[in-house]
Chain A
Amino acid sequence: MTIDSWLQAAVADAERRGLPEMKPILETLARATKALRAADFNDSAAPSHQPPATSHDDD
């Protein structure tokens, strides 16, 4: 799941549950998750040791 699609689904779920004020903090979490996925310690099934640029496409 990309971060954008996760964020969209999470915000929609929070609103459905009567928690619209979750939107800004979910956006904060999305930024943190983006940083986590971009960290250089992440492992990957790609043949090179570098995480492929498209494996967790956020945009």
Chain B
Amino acid sequence: MMTIEEFGRRLRARRTTSEQATNECLQRIDADNPRLNAFILVMADAARAQARELDRELAAGKDRGPLHGVPMSIKDLYDIRGTATTAASRVREGHVADRDATAIARLREAGAVFIGKTNLHEFAFGTTNEDSAFGPARNPIDPARSPGGSSGGSAASLAAGMALATMGTCTGGSIRIPAAACGTVGLKPTLGEIPTDGIVPLARTMDHAGPLTQTVGDAALVYEALIGEPRKTPPAPVPVRGLRFGVPRKYFCDLLDDDVRARFEEALERLRAAGVTLDEIEIRNAADLGTIYLHIVLADAAAYHAATLESKPEKYQKNVRLRLEMGRYVLAEDYVRALAGRELLRREVDAALGAHDALILPTLPIPAPLIGADTVQIAGKAEPVRNVMLRLTQLFNVTGHPAIALPSGTTKAGLPCSVQLVGNRTATDALLRVALACEPYITVKP
């Protein structure tokens, strides 16, 4: 499967066209979407027309940059003008977007081809993609398993070769979790960096937009288009030797699948051998993270859904409806306590990064779970799937720090494992340079 960078080289060498790449993706969708259910809407005719127009532009000398002609899938939470934004919910029946979300407008300007809209956990309120009005999306590596969520269809579409890159959104880990479950790269930029207007919200104070891609270089190219500053090539990696990472083992490594732990330790060893200094650090209030996150996300989401929970409750998936209803009972004083905790955690992560180029930790404590599983066994104990899946990612949605998930080998059963790097707020570009440098040591090619 081609990366964006490889496609760009072939395109400009006249060895392929956008139409050809788009048709190849559409063929993969025809072949595999019936079993993976990654797409809610396939925009075949519109995508082919867009690709042909971009091919004509390039032939006439107009080159929009690295995303010119690149087939991308889009989580069905983003408005694309003229199409429904379903949010994987019957609550949204009858919607048609009259304009592009800002992120989509920037990708369109950068030359991306929109191949279709991908499945997700209803209203992005879940980590498994099981609760969707369109049925669950499935993991291409093992269709009995979840692709992660909430951007599960996006990750599945990328991992199955149905798109060269995809867009997700992330409120507690919904870009990095599916990236980890499907073995791709997932980038959550700094909070607020990518506009979220035209994207159906989950919790407005923690929602992020970002890409899932095959490589860090591709993530950088999409990121730069999203911030409105596209460039011809990815940023240059920093030298690996001399980098200094903080490793927050307490809490973040307390609850890990054995294979996930082993792959993480192996990645650390390779980085150490390459000259990276690894310091054990602690996020002191990390144990309070789950309750802080819960009180913020529930209240934020309930505010957005209150009217439709009253007017059309039967249109929601049952589990999602109950979780949204839960948010309507959060007291204002507890929401304020959670905001205070959020500020404390933000300062703690800032402090942990003060002497470090990045924090490094696993992305997902477990491999992709089986669809339908409520609990998962870790160290002989049954743990709730949802809590476990959010455990390592939600902190950086609460604090707003940029984070990127990179594939890092597989379990004995061949399921992907993942490592995440976390950078300073407002320094997503610096994090990408660090991730580019570390990718060969974290992502082991089979």
On A, residues with C-beta under 8 Å from B are 1, 6, 10, 13-14, 19, 21-22, 25-26, 29, 32-33, 35-37, 39-43
- B105 to A: closest C-beta gap in Å: 39
- Known contacts A6-B331, A25-B322; A43/B291 CB under 8 A: no
List chain B residues, Cβ under 8 A from A43: 340
Closest CB of chain B to A19's CB: distance in Å?
6
B323 at the interface (CB under 8 A from A): yes
A1 to B330, CA, bound (A): 12
In whole angstroms, how far apart are the Cα atoms of A17 and B290 in the complex?
Answer: 28
Which of B291, B325, B330, B331 contacts A19 (CB under 8 A)? B325
Closest residue of chain B to A40, judged by CB? B285
**Nearest opposing residue in chain B for A43, CB measure:** B340
Specify which of B294, B298, B334, B340 lies most central, judged by the most chain A CB atoms within 10 Å of its CB.
Answer: B334
CA distance A6 to B332 in the complex (A): 12
A32/B323 in contact, CB under 8 A: no
> Once the chains bind, are A29 and B290 in contact (CB under 8 Å)?
no
Closest to B333 in A: A1
With contact pairs A41-B285, A42-B340 given, residues A36 and B322 touching in the complex (Cβ less than 8 Å): no
Q: Flag if A39 contacts B285 (CB, 8 Å).
A: yes
**Would you call B340 and A41 a contact (CB within 8 A)?**
yes
Task: State in angstroms the CA–CA spacing of A25 and B324 once bound together.
Answer: 11
Q: In the assembled complex, which residues on chain A have CB atoms less than 8 Å from the CB atom of B294?
A: 29, 32
Query: Does B337 contact A22, Cβ atoms closer than 8 Å?
Result: no
Q: In the complex, A41→B288 CA distance in Å?
A: 10
User: Once the chains bind, are A32 and B290 in contact (CB under 8 Å)?
Assistant: yes
A22 in contact with B291 given A1-B331, A6-B331, A42-B340 (CB within 8 Å): no
Chain A: which residue is nearest B384 at the CB level? A28
A36: which B residues are within 8 A, CB to CB? 288, 291-292, 295, 334, 337-338, 341
Q: In the bound complex, do residue A25 and residue B323 qualify as a contact, i.e. CB atoms below 8 Å apart?
A: yes
A29 to chain B, nearest CB (A): 6
- Determine whether B344 belongs to the interface, using a CB cutoff of 8 Å to chain A: yes
Most chain A CB inside 10 Å of its own CB: which residue of B291, B295, B323, B331: B291
Does chain A have a CB within 8 A of B46?
Answer: no
**Which of the listed residues A14, A22, A29 has the most CB atoms from chain B within 10 Å of its own CB?**
A29
The chain A residue sitting closest to B338, CB to CB, is A36
B interface: dominant SS: helix
Assuming A26-B329, A39-B285, is B295 touching A32 (CB within 8 A)? yes
Q: A25-B322, A25-B323, A32-B290 are in contact. Are A39 and B329 (CB under 8 A)?
A: no
Q: Residue of B at shortest CB range from A21? A: B322
Does residue B306 face the partner (Cβ distance < 8 Å to A)? no
CA distance A32 to B288 in the complex (A): 9
Tell me if B96 is interfacial: C-beta within 8 Å of chain A: no
On whether A39 and B326 interact (CB within 8 A), knowing A32-B295, A33-B291, A33-B295, the answer reads no
Residue of A nearest to B318 (CB): A21
- A40 / chain B contacts, CB cutoff of 8 Å: 285
Knowing A35-B291, A36-B288, A36-B292, say if A41 contacts B344 (CB, 8 Å).
Answer: yes
Q: Does A29 lie within 8 Å of B325, measured CB to CB? A: no
Return chain A residues, CB-CB under 8 Å to B331.
Answer: 1, 6, 33
What residue of chain B has the Cβ atom nearest to residue A42's Cβ?
B337
5 interchain residue pairs of minimum CB distance: A36-B291, A32-B291, A10-B329, A39-B288, A35-B291
Q: Can you give 24 A-B contacts (C-beta < 8 A)?
A: A1-B331, A6-B329, A19-B322, A22-B326, A25-B322, A25-B326, A26-B326, A29-B298, A29-B326, A29-B330, A32-B294, A33-B291, A36-B288, A36-B295, A36-B334, A37-B337, A39-B285, A39-B288, A39-B292, A39-B337, A40-B285, A41-B285, A42-B340, A43-B340
* Distance, CA A22 to CA B309, complexed state (A): 14
Q: Give Cα A42–Cα B341 distance, bound, in whole angstroms.
A: 8
Name the residue among A26, A33, A43 with the largest chain B CB count within 10 angstroms: A33
Q: Known contacts A19-B325, A25-B323, A25-B326: does B334 contact A39 (CB below 8 Å)? A: no
Per the bound structure, the CA–CA distance linking A49 and B421 in Å amounts to: 36
Q: Which residues of B contact A14 (CB under 8 A)?
A: 325, 329
Distance to closest chain A CB from B106 (angstroms): 38
A33→B334 contact, CB < 8 A:
yes
Are A29 and B285 interface neighbours, CB within 8 A? Answer: no
Residues of chain A within 8 A of B322, CB atoms compared: 19, 21-22, 25
Residues of B contacting A35 with CB < 8 Å? 288, 291
Min Cβ gap A39→B in Å is 5
Residue ID in chain A nearest B327 by CB atoms: A29
Residue-by-residue, is B356-399 near A (CB-CB < 8 Å gives 1, otherwise 0)? 00000000000000000000000000000000000000000000
- Residues of chain B lying within 8 A (CB to CB) of residue A13: 329
